[in-house]
């Protein structure tokens, strides 16, 4: 059970972050929800999860594109036994047309945010005598696809950061691992279908079949529950000696 532990999940009002939140709260962890939006719906979601799982679920606004916000999120939470760096965005364009502001935002949110949160969370984990860093990377942390230069760069980067954190904490009761999902049908994936269709000159249905699921030998999307299940396992005693790994949940994509 994770009762008595506090998990902070960045970018957790949607998709994989929300799935991981549900899984950890389901094991009894208190969870800090985060997004940059700070809407009524964000606060209502925290309340709903708290009721559903009988654990403390609080919402803290922070913009993961800003280093100081990332650090303030962990400081405000006051405790961090489990850090899940999940916030992420995507933009699809050829590198010579890739908007500079999108590049900067993807590098900041998908990669540098984890540097800032980890830097503040590790001393808290050391003080508590236990910790788990779980970075939601991607199959794109291990393989490339065209038109995703910023995303592939950031995800390869966070896999490297994960290995470094694992080595720096290797003698301590702290582990750091990356989960590398293949395609999971979340708003992030749904949103890139129209642009991908344009780049490949295909219909949106063709993009799902011939571009997206073409990568996954299983021909199925992974689910947020499956990602949550692996995150929960990484927090268990059985996973104590698993550190510095990039664990793919990708229907065989990176086996090829």
Residues near ligand NAD (CB under 6 A): 11-17, 34-36, 63-65, 86-89, 109-110, 136, 138, 181, 183-184, 186-189
Closest to ligand NAD by CB, 64 vs 122, is 64
| Nearest approach, Cβ of residue 131 and ligand NAD (Å) | 20
Phi-psi region of 28 (alpha: psi -120 to 50; beta: other; left: phi over 0): left
Residues contacting 205, CB < 8 A, separation 6+? none
Closest to ligand NAD by CB, 103 vs 183, is 183
- 3-class DSSP state of 84: strand
Residue 17 and residue 129: Cα distance in Å, rounded?
Answer: 25
Residue 208 and residue 178: Cα distance in Å, rounded?
Answer: 26
Residue 126 and residue 131: Cα distance in Å, rounded?
Answer: 7
Closest to ligand NAD by CB, 27 vs 192, is 192
| Nearest approach, Cβ of residue 248 and ligand NAD (Å) | 10
Closest to ligand NAD by CB, 26 vs 126, is 26
| Nearest approach, Cβ of residue 160 and ligand NAD (Å) | 16
Closest to ligand NAD by CB, 14 vs 126, is 14
So which residues are the catalytic ones?
151
Phi-psi region of 11 (alpha: psi -120 to 50; beta: other; left: phi over 0): left
Residue 93 and residue 196: Cα distance in Å, rounded?
Answer: 8
Give kind and range of the element (H or E) at residue 31: strand 30-35
| Nearest approach, Cβ of residue 86 and ligand NAD (Å) | 5
Chain position carrying tokens 């590198």: 95
Half-sphere exposure of 140 (CA within 13 A, CB side): 20
Residue 255 DSSP class = G
Closest to ligand NAD by CB, 127 vs 219, is 219
Residue 73 and residue 215: Cα distance in Å, rounded?
Answer: 35
> What are residue 248's phi and psi, to 5 degrees?
-85, 140
Chain position carrying tokens 């962990």: 74
């Amino acid at each position: 059970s994770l009762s008595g532990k506090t998990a902070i999940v960045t970018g957790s009002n949607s998709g994989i972050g929300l799935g991981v939140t549900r899984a950890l709260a389901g094991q009894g962890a208190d969870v800090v929800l985060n997004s940059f939006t700070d809407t009524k719906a964000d606060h209502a979601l925290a309340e709903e999860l708290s009721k559903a799982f009988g654990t403390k679920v609080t919402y803290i606004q922070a913009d993961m594109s800003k280093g100081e916000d990332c650090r303030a999120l962990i400081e405000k939470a006051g405790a961090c036994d489990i850090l899940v760096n999940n916030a992420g965005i995507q933009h699809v364009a050829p590198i010579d047309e890739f908007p500079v502001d999108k590049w900067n935002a993807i590098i900041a949110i998908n990669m540098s945010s984890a540097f800032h949160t980890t830097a503040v969370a590790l001393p808290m984990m050391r003080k508590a005598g236990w910790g788990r860093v779980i970075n939601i990377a991607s199959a794109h942390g291990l393989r490339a696809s065209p038109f995703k230069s910023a995303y592939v760069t950031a995800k390869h980067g966070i896999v490297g950061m994960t290995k470094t954190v694992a080595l720096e904490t290797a003698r301590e009761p702290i582990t750091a691992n990356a989960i590398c999902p293949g395609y999971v049908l979340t708003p992030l994936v749904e949103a890139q279908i129209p642009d991908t269709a344009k780049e490949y000159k295909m219909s949106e249905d063709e993009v799902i079949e011939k571009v997206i699921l073409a990568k996954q030998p299983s021909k199925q999307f992974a689910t947020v529950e499956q990602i949550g299940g692996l995150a929960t396992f990484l927090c268990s005693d059985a996973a104590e000696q698993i550190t510095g790994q990039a664990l793919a949940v990708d229907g065989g994509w990176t086996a090829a």
